[in-house]
Chain A
Amino acid sequence: MSQSRQPVYRLNKGGRIDRSRTLSFTFNGQHYQGHPGDTLASALLANGVDIVNRSFKYSRPRGIVAAGAEEPNAIVQLGSREAAQVPNVRATQQALFDGLTARSTNGWPNVQRDLMGLVGKLGGQFMPPGFYYKTFMAPASMWLTYEKYIRKAAGLGRSPMEPDPDTYDHFHQHCDVLVVGAGAAGLAAALAAARSGARVMVADEQEEMGGALLDSRETLDGKPADQWVSQVLEELVGCENVTLLPRTTANGYHDHNFVTLHERRTEHLGETAPLENGLRQARSRMHRVRVGQVILATGAHERPLVYAGNDIPGNLLAGAVSTYIRRYGVAPGRQLVLSTSNDYGYRAALDWQEAGCEVVAIVDAREFPAGDWVDAARAQGIKIITSSAVIEAKGSNRVTAARVARIDIDAYQVCGPIQVLACDTIASSGGYSPVIHLASHTGVRPIWRDDVIGFVPGGVKGMQACGGANGTYALGDVLAEGVEAGIKASVATGHAAQAVSLPSAKRLQQGVAVALFQVPHEKPTLRGPKQFVDLQNDVTAAGIELATREGFESIEHIKRYTAMGFGTDQGKLGNINGMAIAARCLGLSIPEVGTTVFRPNYTPVPFGAIVGRHCRDLFDPERYTALHQWHVERGAEFEDVGQWKRPRYYPQARAGATNGERESMSEAVARECLAVREKVGILDASTLGKIDIQGPDAREFLARIYTNKWEKLAVGKCRYGLMCKDDGMVTDDGVTSCLADNHFLMTTTTGGAAAILEWLELWHQTEWPELEVYFSSVTDHWATMTITGPNARALLAEITDINLDRDSFKFMEWRTGNVAGVPARVYRISFTGELTFEINVQANYAMHVWQTLFKHGGKYGLTPYGTEAMHVLRAEKGFIIVGQETDGSVTPEDLGMQWCIGYDKPFSWIGKRALVRPDTKRENRKQLVGLKPKDPKVVLEEGAQIVFDPNHAIPMPMVGHVTSSYYSPTLNSGFALAVVKGGQQKLGETVYLPMADGRTFEAEIVSPIFYDPKGERQHV
C-alpha cells in the first residue's frame, strides 16, 4: 500500500465534479482520491494511472481510451469483499463512491509486472488468429484443461463465490414512446412526446442526462448547452406522463418493440444497496418495456484511427479527451498530438490548449482543412500538419512520441518523410459511427451512408432513429430531428402534436471529412508493428488481413476467426474499422462486406438483474395442498410432481434409536406399504387434476375424448378412463364419476391437469362446438384424502353418516354425506388394490377432517403414506402411471388394456383411427409385462435395457426397458414393470439386463399383476 498521491492530471477548475468533497477509492490495492461527479475512469486518469489492464491475448499494457460504454480496456472487477464481486464493469461507466474497490480483470500477478506480457512479447508473432484452435487442437480431450489456463491467463472477470447480499427486481413497463438516450436528440424528442400527453419513458445510461451537451463547446440561445439540458429536464420531471430513468441502459431491443432496460439504482452509492427509510431496496432493476414507438437517440461513438502502437496507454479518442477535460476536470497528459480525419477532432486540441496544456501538433489527413474549429486552432497558434497522420505511437507503458508522416489514402501508403514528435498523449478521430446496436438486435441490417462514412439503422417498424444515431451531427439538425421523431411517435400512438420551440444553435462551418480507417505504415501490415482494431479482443489489422488471405471472405467468418467484436465489447470501437480493412484486403466496398450482427446485451448486465426475484425460494412456484403444514410437521420428505410438493414418504425415528436417527427411504416405504396391505393407510391425493364437466352432451363428449365407453355409466358410479392423443398413444388416465345425467367429474394425473383441460377445450372449441358441454377446473377446490387398507371401512364408519355396507356402497361408486361433520363426496375407487375410500371435502375444511381421521385412526393402525409407497402399491397391482409406463409411444393395447377400448362406439373417438394403422397393430410392439428378477433381492434399475440374448455381439438388439421397479415388502422380492417387444406372448421366458458395471441380471417375464390378481381385496 502506498501513500495517497496528489492527483497529477486534475485541473484546478472546470468540469461537473464537486471539488469541495473528496472520495477515497482503491484500485489494484493502491489508494487514490477523487470527487463526486467522477467516474472511476476519470479519477484514475486524474491520478495518473496509465495502465488499467493487460490485454486479452498479448497481455500488453492498456490504458483508458474512451469515456463511455465503448471503453475497451478499462474493464474492472469491483468489490472489496467476496460477496460483492462484480465482473466486467467499465470504469468509464462506474460512478465513483467513497470506498470503491476495483481491480483489473486481467494481469497476473499484476498489471504493472505481468508474466504473460513476456508471452505476448516473445510469442506475439506466433499467436496469429486461430492460434488457440490451431495449437490446442489435439488431443481434443485436453481442451478443457487448456481452456482453464487460457482463461485464467486471459482474465475475463469472475463471479462471486459467496451469495449476493443484494436483491434485484423486474418492472413490467408499458409506454407509448420510449426514448433511448437523453442527449440533444433524445431530450428534444422526449420534450415533443411529453407535451403531446403520450406516456413517455426516457432511458439514459449515464450518471447525468444530457449526453454530449454536458461537455459541448457549443451554445444554445447563446448560453452554455447544459443550461438547456437543465431546463428541459425540469419540465420533464414535472410531467406526470414522463418517466425518467438515468443510469439506465437499453440493453436489448426485441421483437414487437419489447425493450429491456437495465437500471443501476444503487451502483453509484456503494457496493451493496443502502437501506432507504430502513427498508431494503433493489440494487438493479430490469425494466421489461412494451413500447408503442421506440426512438433511438443513442448518439454515435467516435471511431479511432488504426495506427501502429495505438494501444499504448496515452492513446485516446479525441472526443474522450474533451469529455475528460470539460466534464471531469482532467487533462490526462501534458503534451498532445491529435490525429484526425475531420473537424470534430479539433475540439480535443482546443480544449487541451484551453486547459493550459501543450498541443504539440494537429495532424490532419486532409490536404486543405477548413472550418470554424480549424480556424480557431490556427488562431490559437496550434501547429497543423496536413495530408498526414500519426502512423505509429512510440512508448511501452505510456506514449512517449508520435511518428507522423504524409500519407496517400487512395494509394494506401506513406509518401513522405517521417517526423517524430515527442508527446505523452495521442488523440485520434476517424469520424463517428452511429450507435446502431439496438436497431441491429431486431435483425434488421444497417445501411451504409457514404456521406456520413458510417452505417445508420435499417428500418424497424415502430422505431425511429434521430441525431447521432442517424448520422446527423450538426447540433441544430440534431435537435430538429429529435423533435420531429417525438412528434411522429406521438401521432403514431394517437396523441396530438404540440409546438416545441427549439433553442438556436450556431451553424458551424465545417470541412468535409475524409474516410480514413487504417493508417498506412512504412512497413506492410503483416510485417509492421501491431495496429489494433479491437482492443478488447486483441484483434489487429494484420489479423484481419491474414484472415482474408486464409480465405475468409464473409465478415461473419472473419469475425469468428479473429474474435473481432466478440463478447462484452460487441464491436463498439473496432467493427467499422475492421470491416474497412477487410474491404480493402478483399478489394470490396464497405457495404459490400457488410456488417456483423450486434447482439444483446449492449453492455454486460448482472445476472441478478436478469433473474430479478425469480431465485432461491421464489425460483419457481411451489404448489401446496391444504394439508401441507401437517406433512411438514410430520417430517415428510417431499417430491416434486409438476410444481406440487407431495409427501414422498414419512420417515419415523428408527426403532430403538436414541440419537433421533430416522428411517431410510426404503425402510419407511416398506413400513408404509405393509400398513396399507395389513391395516389402513392415508394419502393426500389432493393434487390430482379435477375437471367439472356439465351439459347435456357431457356424456357424448367423454365418449369421444376417452377410449372406452361412457354411455351406460349410471349416476352414482365411477369409471376408469384412458385418453389417447390423435396418434393413438396414451396421454392421460383417471377416474371419471357420473354426478348427474348432465354432470361428470373427471380426474386427471397430477402433472396433466392443466394440459388436459386445454385439450378438452381445444377439441370442444375447434372440432365439436355443437356439443353442449362446459369444463371448469375444480382441482384446488377439493381436498382429497385416500384411506386404503382392510381397516378403511371401520375407520371411516366412526366419523361418517354414509352407509358403507359393501352391498349398498360398492366398488366404483360414490356417495355424499358428512365426514367428521363436513359435507363430503366419498368415492370408492382404488389405486392400491385394497378397500379404499377417497374422501373429498372443500379444501378449507381439509385439515379438520384429516386430523379427525387421525384422532380415530390410532386403533386401526392408520399410517400416512407418500407417493413412493403409492408407486409400489399400484405397481404390485400392475396399475400404470402415465409418463412412467408410457412415454408417448405406447398404445392402450401395448398396455394390455384392450378392455378399456370401445372399438364399436358409434362416434369415432380420439386415437381410434391411429390404432388401426399397421404400425399400431404389428405384433412386435413393445408391450407391458411384469418382470420377476431371478434373484429376489435384486431391484432392477428403472430405465435398464432388456435383451433376449446376453451373449449377442455388441451392439446387442435391445428389446425393451424397465419402466418401474421396486422392492415389495409384501412379496418379499424385487419386481418390475417393463415394456418388451412382443412381451405379452412371452410369459415365462427369461430376459437379460446387462448393466453398465458389467453385471447382467436375469428376470422372468410375468403378468404385470403381482398381487391379488383377481382383484378381490378392493371389493371387500
Chain B
Amino acid sequence: MSNAATFDTRTDSAIPMESPLAYSYRRSGAPATGPASRVTLRERALLGHLIVRGGAIALDEAVRGVLGISLPGQPQTLVQDASGERSIQWLSPDEWLVIVPGGEEFPLETRLRERLGSAHYAISDVSGGQTLLELAGEAARELLMKTVIYDVHPSHFPVGKGVTTVFAKAATMLRRPDEERWELVVRRSFADYCYRWLLDAGAEYGVNVEQ
C-alpha cells in the first residue's frame, strides 16, 4: 500500500444519490420512443470510475490479477471483461480510465494498491465526477458526426477503440464497446449541456431517452 489516503466515498445506507443528469431529466424531460426513433440515449449512471496513472507494465500486471483483463497497451484502445461490465480505456501514455459497476471502485482501488505495492502510480476515484452516456440505433453514428470532431467512420473507429475528443464545445471520452453501441464519458458539470445538445441534435432522428 503506497502512502496515499484512500477514502470510500460511498455508503451502504439507503441514502439517495442523484446522477449528473437528474436535473436534466427534470428540466428537459426524456423523450419517449416514437415510430421514427432512430437513436436511443441511455445514461448508465452511478458507475465506479477510476483514473489510474503509472507505468504500463506494473499496472498491467495488477489489473490482470485483480480484474482478469489486460491493460490496453495500444493508444486509443478499450479493453472489457467478458460481461462488458468492466472496462479499461487508454487515455494517455501513463493514464487509463477504469469503469466498473457502482460500488466496486473502492474495493478495486484497495486491491490494486495491494498488488502495486511500492511501485509509483496513482489511483483517483472520480465516480462522482463523470457519467457514461450510451448511444444506440441506426442514426447513432450520424448524431456523433454532428457532435464530435473525431472521425467515427467504422473503418477508422472500429469496435474496441476509445479516444478523448471534442464534444461540441466540451470534451468527452468516446468509446465503441460493440457494434451496436457508442459510449460517451462526460464530466458531471458538463452533463446537462451534453444532454441538451444530444436531444437537440438528435431531434431529427427522433432521439429517445431510456431511463
Contact of B120 among A628, A687, A772, A844 (CB under 8 A): A772
B130, chain A: closest CB distance, angstroms: 6
- The interface-forming segment of A555-563, A739-747, A785-793, A1002-1010 is A739-747
**Is A492's CB within 8 Å of the partner chain B?**
no
- Chain A residues with CB below 8 A from B149, complex form: 172, 288
Which residues of A588-636 have CB atoms within 8 Å of chain B's CB atoms?
Answer: 613-614, 617-618, 620-626, 628-629
| B13→A821 contact, CB < 8 A | yes
The answer to whether B127 and A622 have CB atoms under 8 Å apart is no
Alpha-carbon distance A843/B9, docked complex (angstroms): 10
Residue A783 is within 8 A (CB to CB) of chain B in the complex? yes
Name the A residues within 8 Å of B17 (CB-CB).
Answer: 844-845, 848
User: When chains A and B are docked, how far (Å) is the Cα of A58 from the Cα of B111?
Assistant: 83
A780 & B187 in contact (Cβ 8 Å cutoff): yes
Segment of A15-23, A689-697, A724-732, A919-927 engaged in the interface with chain B: A689-697
Select which of A171, A172, A695, A847 is within 8 A of B122 by beta carbon: A695
Q: Which of A167, A279, A618, A692 contacts B205 (CB 8 A)?
A: A279
B151 to chain A minimum Cβ distance, whole angstroms, is: 4
List the B residue with the shortest CB-CB distance to A851. B16
Q: B156 and A174: CB pair below 8 A? A: yes
Question: How distant is the Cα of A696 from the Cα of B197 in the complex, in angstroms?
Answer: 42
The 8 Å CB contact of B19, one of A278, A281, A779, A844, is: A844
Q: Any chain B CB within 8 A of the CB of A12?
A: no
Given contacts A621-B193, A778-B129, A844-B18, is CB(A816)–CB(B122) below 8 Å? no
- Complex-state Cα separation, A710 to B8, whole angstroms: 27
Q: Decide: B189 and A623 in contact? CB cutoff 8 A.
A: yes
A981 proximal to B (CB < 8 A): no
- B85 shortest CB reach to chain A, Å: 19
Given contacts A174-B156, A783-B128, contact A776 B189 (CB under 8 A): no
A296 to chain B, nearest CB (A): 23
B145 touches A280 (CB 8 A): no
**Closest residue of B by beta carbon distance from A170:** B146
> B129 — which chain A residues lie within 8 A by C-beta?
777-782, 843
Q: Which of A178-196 contact B (CB under 8 A)?
A: none
When the two chains form their complex, are residues B148 and A780 in contact, meaning their CB atoms are under 8 A apart?
no
The CB with the most chain A CB atoms within 10 A, among B23, B123, B197, B206, is that of: B23
Chain B residues, Cβ within 8 Å of A687: 189
A817-846: which have CB < 8 Å to B?
A: 818, 820-823, 825, 841-846
Contact partners of A173 in chain B: CB under 8 A: 145
Q: Is the CB of A613 within 8 A of B201?
A: yes
Would you call B51 an interface residue if the criterion is a C-beta within 8 Å of the partner chain's C-beta atoms?
Answer: yes
Docked CA distance A782–B189 (Å): 11
Say yes or no: is A290 at the interface (Cβ < 8 Å to chain B).
Answer: yes
Question: What's the minimum C-beta distance from A846 to chain B, rounded to whole angstroms?
Answer: 7
Min CB distance A632 to B, Å, is 8
By a CB distance below 8 angstroms, the chain A residues around B197 are: 613, 618
- Across-interface contacts of A170 in B (CB, < 8 A): 146
Complex Cα spacing A695 to B187, Å = 25
User: In the complex the two chains form, is A821's CB within 8 Å of B11's CB?
Assistant: yes
A277 in the interface, Cβ–Cβ < 8 Å?
yes
- How far, in angstroms, from A169 to B120 measured CA to CA in the complex? 47
**B125–chain A nearest beta-carbon distance, Å:** 7
Min CB distance B75 to A, Å, is 17
Q: Which of B11, B151, B200, B204 contacts A281 (CB 8 A)?
A: B204
Bound-state Cα–Cα, A621 to B150, Å: 19
Asked if residues B156 and A822 are in contact (CB atoms below 8 Å), the reply is no
Contact between chains at B189 and A692 (CB < 8 Å):
no
Contact B206 A743 (CB under 8 A): no
The reply to whether the CB of A879 lies closer than 8 angstroms to some CB of chain B is no
Does A279 contact B3, Cβ atoms closer than 8 Å? no
Closest to B49 in A: A781
Chain A residues in 8 Å Cβ range of B46 = 844
Closest 7 CB pairs of A and B: A780-B129, A781-B129, A774-B122, A694-B122, A739-B5, A842-B9, A843-B128
A-B contact list, 27 entries, CB within 8 Å? A172-B146, A172-B149, A174-B151, A276-B204, A278-B34, A279-B36, A279-B205, A281-B204, A282-B204, A613-B168, A613-B201, A614-B169, A618-B168, A618-B197, A623-B189, A626-B18, A626-B20, A626-B188, A692-B124, A696-B3, A739-B4, A742-B3, A776-B53, A778-B124, A780-B129, A781-B128, A844-B46
